[in-house]
Amino acid sequence: MPLLDVQNLKTYFFTLRGSVKAVDDISFQVEKGEALGLAGESGCGKTTAALSILKILPKGGSILGGQILFKDKDIVKLDENEMRKKIRWKGISIVFQGAMNALNPVYKVGDQIVEAILAHEPNAKKNEAEERTAKLLELVGIGSSRANNYPHEFSGGMRQRALIAMSVACNPDLLIADEPGTALDVIVQAQVLKMMKELKSRLNLAMILITHDLSIIAETCEKCAIMYAGKIVENGDIVSIFKDPLHPYTQGLIQAFPSIKTAKTEMTSIPGFPPDLLYPPSGCRFHPRCPYVMDVCKKEEPNPIEVATGHYVECHLVGKR
Amino acid sequence: MKEPLVEVEDLKKWFPVKGGLFSTIFSRKQLFVRAVDGISFKIMKGEVFGLAGESGSGKTTTGRLILRLIEPTSGKLCLEGKNIATLSEKELKKMRRRMQIIFQDPYESLNPRMTISDILEEPLSVQGISSPAERKNKVSRALEDVELIPAEEFLHRFPHELSGGQRQRVAVARALILEPGFIVADEPVSMLDVSTRAEVLTLMLDLVKKFNISLLYITHDLALARHMCDRLAIMYLGKIMEFASVEKIVHEHLHPYTKALISAVPVPDPTSERIEVVVKGEIPSPINPPSGCRFHTRCPEYLGDICRTKEPQLIEIKPEHYVACHIYTK
């Protein structure tokens, strides 16, 4: 039984111009203690998918269908009160994009973590929460004495660490990290990613890592789902995704990332640009940019096909094999 | 490749730190952010020269200094043998035909109220080049050069009607339209989607070769720098730590900082070795940079007092391979 089982999730945004199909029928699973990378270009719906899991969609967005089974319970059916009491922070927590600005500048970092603990565990005592905060900060590699500092006294990397410490404050089973590496320099990014990997194995955390950078996923995750225009086009363990990508979009995306370790390779890109999700293309959403487009691609939406255990692809090319 | 087009010698830019009223009156010492602190290099004709480093290392400031978009504190800056650091405004305007820049964010560097044809024509009219009819020709040709074809379809559009990749192509066309000898590209693809990055970079490389332009490519992404550049300089806190041909930097790097930087680049291959982080902490403040070697506070190969007290010089350790580190001068 997977820890998180998302099935046929649909999240649309309603605007004056029509409905934006930001997440359209996606399914994926995350096991306990496992990291899933959710990759795709900007606007492909990866952040919306994460916000749907926590039911914290911005105005206008709503979940129209599907199930989100967390520990076998469907979160979609829970009301706001139950979400707050049972799921958020204690079950699933999130580290938002842009760690630089996520902390409140006028409160001490330690106090902000204490506040999070007290708000979600009404029985906890303040001094207990303070002790836990000190331990949490040490866990992410910040000296506990720094709890009395204000966010501006922290560097970018430390702020990101403090937020990660805060996110695991109430012992969640699943941590969602939205672009944890962007906005950080390479060396600091490597430090933070390493710390997250250690945290994951120490706390037996499941993680969903949202990023546009495939190399970060290769570095930290066990499984990877590639999103394009609101759909998951390919999903599997990272070795098969990186070594044997079957969807033309995955292939294109991987070729767009040069590696510094191997011999210099030709860098190619995918012609065209992602579609407007108000009016997504008919059939396979990737067909206007696909180098192998066939007639069937324009008419019929491809269904997910399991090519090997746990490796799913949505492409008519694969269906024909 | 033999002739240098751009020569930079001991270039410095110190930004004064503005204090509050109290500190302005009572503080004796004026503080400076030493964004660029004495760097020298040459860019050859037709060469792609890369500047890489973490944020705050001074690479963007260097790019702007070379075009004199900001005034250098001291140092010599030569383009085609002329020292631009001392030119008057009028002479400088003439020189601007020869040097252009492509900015990072094509969503902000193009005026949203101007059509593409106006955007591309403006440099020509500012410089007073050719008749209006000829300018239209040039604009169309520039659009074709950057593969925005058919040109007529783009002429009357506004920037918001184009995708990020197309906008950055317009920015490339705007830089090319004056037929410059030297272009600075400041993180030209960091705002673009990954799937369109490659085509913009490949296009830039093709154009640089076609028109024999020298390019200063500024980036924090070493994997992309390797793809683009002939030679690469690694900057840290306003200083060049190492510079050599890009393959030497990637495979035979000598400076501990370069080593740390290269090993921290994530590799898009799950079966390759994982990153090992040897360097602790983050880049210190450029207001009070560490004494001696600026990297000594984080250096995993710290030698002792010499690193703390004496600043290493950039020395040619191997042919065409310059390093500023005491390990190699002892």
- The complex scores an ipTM of 0.85
Substitution target from B194, B204, B257 for chain A, most A beta carbons within 10 A: B194
Q: What is the model's pLDDT at position B114?
A: 95
Residue A25 DSSP label: E
Q: What's A26's domain CATH number?
A: 3.40.50.300
Whether residues A262 and B201 touch (CB distance < 8 A) is answered with no
Whether residues A261 and B269 touch (CB distance < 8 A) is answered with yes
Our CA-based measurement puts residue A214 at a distance from the nearest CA of chain B, in whole angstroms, of: 6
Determine the Cα–Cα distance for residues B116 and B148; give it in Å rounded to an integer.
11
Let me know if residue B193 belongs to a domain.
Answer: yes
Residue A47 belongs to domain spanning: 4-91+170-213+220-234
Let me know if residue A142 belongs to a domain.
Answer: no
Taking CA–CA distances from A264, the nearest residue in chain B reads B227
CB B323 within 8 A of CB B255: yes
- Cα dihedral sign for B119, B120, B123, B127? negative
Our CA-based measurement puts residue A271 at a distance from the nearest CA of chain B, in whole angstroms, of: 7
Q: What is the model's pLDDT at position A241?
A: 94
Whether residues A269 and B197 touch (CB distance < 8 A) is answered with yes
| Residues of B in Cβ contact (< 8 Å) with A42 | 193
pTM comes to 0.88
Q: What is the model's pLDDT at position B281?
A: 81
Our CA-based measurement puts residue A303 at a distance from the nearest CA of chain B, in whole angstroms, of: 24
Determine the Cα–Cα distance for residues B237 and A78; give it in Å rounded to an integer.
52
Whether residues A269 and B199 touch (CB distance < 8 A) is answered with yes
CB within 8 A of A298, min separation 6: which ones? A281, A282, A283, A284, A287
Among B198, B274, B280, the residue with its CB nearest the CB of A219 is B274
* Domain count within chain B: 1
Among B54, B164, B196, the residue with its CB nearest the CB of A187 is B54
Let me know if residue A16 belongs to a domain.
Answer: yes
| Residues of A in Cβ contact (< 8 Å) with B273 | 261
Substitution target from B54, B148, B163, B193 for chain A, most A beta carbons within 10 A: B193
Let me know if residue B267 belongs to a domain.
Answer: no
CB B240 within 8 A of CB B206: no
Let me know if residue B74 belongs to a domain.
Answer: yes
Structure confidence at residue A64 as a pLDDT band (50, 70, 90): very high
Among B198, B250, B269, the residue with its CB nearest the CB of A256 is B198
Structure confidence at residue A91 as a pLDDT band (50, 70, 90): very high
Let me know if residue B289 belongs to a domain.
Answer: no
User: Beta strand A223-228 with A35-39: parallel, antiparallel or unpaired?
Assistant: parallel
Half-sphere exposure of A45 (CA within 13 A, CB side): 31
| Residues of A in Cβ contact (< 8 Å) with B163 | 273
Let me know if residue B82 belongs to a domain.
Answer: yes
Determine the Cα–Cα distance for residues A233 and A248; give it in Å rounded to an integer.
9
Among B54, B250, B282, the residue with its CB nearest the CB of A260 is B250
Among A185, A190, A218, the residue with its CB nearest the CB of B268 is A218
Let me know if residue A296 belongs to a domain.
Answer: no
- With left for phi above 0 and alpha for psi between -120 and 50, is residue A258 left, alpha or beta? beta
Let me know if residue B170 belongs to a domain.
Answer: no
Q: What angle do CA B272, B277, B278 make, to 5 degrees?
A: 130
CB A33 within 8 A of CB A206: yes
Among A42, A187, A267, the residue with its CB nearest the CB of B260 is A187
* Domain count within chain A: 1
Q: What is the model's pLDDT at position A321?
A: 52
The mean pLDDT value of chain B amounts to: 90
Structure confidence at residue A56 as a pLDDT band (50, 70, 90): very high
Taking CA–CA distances from A265, the nearest residue in chain B reads B227
Q: What's B227's domain CATH number?
A: 3.40.50.300
CB within 8 A of A225, min separation 6: which ones? A28, A36, A37, A38, A39, A232, A234, A235
Residue B27 belongs to domain spanning: 4-98+178-236+243-251
pLDDT in tens, chain B (330 residues): 568 999 999 999 999 887 777 766 776 677 888 999 999 999 999 999 999 998 888 999 999 999 999 999 999 999 988 898 888 999 999 999 999 999 998 889 999 999 999 999 999 999 988 888 899 999 999 999 999 988 899 999 999 999 888 999 999 999 999 999 999 999 999 888 888 888 899 999 999 999 999 999 999 989 889 989 999 999 999 999 999 999 999 999 999 999 999 988 888 888 887 777 778 888 888 888 899 999 999 999 888 899 999 999 999 999 999 999 999 887
| Residues of A in Cβ contact (< 8 Å) with B196 | 269-270, 273
Structure confidence at residue A134 as a pLDDT band (50, 70, 90): very high
Let me know if residue B29 belongs to a domain.
Answer: yes
Let me know if residue B123 belongs to a domain.
Answer: no
